C-alpha cells in the first residue's frame, strides 16, 4: 500500500470524485483525513474493469482479490524456486 493525498489520487483516476468515494465504500482504499492508503495496481485494475469493461462492483471485488492472491502465489513460487536453486549448488 502506498499513501497518497486525495489530490494525487484524484489525478490518478482522472478527476473522478465519485469513483474515489466508491473505492472507499467498497474498502479498496483506506482514507484517513486527506491521506489515503492505496494499492495503485488494484485501483487502476478496478478503474479499467468499471469504465472499460462495465464490470459490476461485486465482480470488481472478486477480480481484485483474486489478482492479489495470484500475485502473492507467484512471488511465493519464485521464492521457493530460488531456495531450491540455492540448495542445489555444490558446497566447497
Terminus-to-terminus CA distance in the chain, angstroms? 42
Q: What is the predicted pLDDT for the residue at 31?
A: 84
Print the domain residue range for 41.
Answer: 2-87
pLDDT, averaged across the chain: 90
Per-residue model confidence as pLDDT tens digits over 2-37: 888 888 888 989 999 999 999 989 888 888 877 888
Nine cell digits for residue 57: 462492483
Contacts of 17 (CB under 8 A, 6+ apart): 10
Residue 75 lies in a domain: yes
Q: What is the predicted pLDDT for the residue at 46?
A: 95
CB 64 within 8 A of CB 28: yes
CATH number at residue 36: 1.10.1660.10
Residue 92 lies in a domain: no
pTM of the entire predicted model? 0.77
Domain count, the chain: 1
Residue 77 lies in a domain: yes
Amino acid at each position: 500500500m502506498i499513501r497518497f493525498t486525495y489530490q494525487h489520487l484524484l489525478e490518478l483516476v482522472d478527476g473522478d470524485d465519485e469513483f474515489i468515494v466508491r473505492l472507499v465504500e467498497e474498502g479498496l482504499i483506506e482514507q484517513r483525513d486527506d491521506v489515503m492508503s492505496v494499492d495503485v495496481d488494484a485501483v487502476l485494475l478496478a478503474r479499467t474493469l468499471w469504465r472499460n469493461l462495465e464490470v459490476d462492483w461485486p465482480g470488481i471485488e472478486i477480480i481484485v482479490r483474486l489478482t492479489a492472491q495470484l500475485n502473492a502465489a507467484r512471488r511465493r513460487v519464485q521464492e521457493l524456486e530460488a531456495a531450491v536453486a540455492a540448495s542445489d549448488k555444490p558446497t566447497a
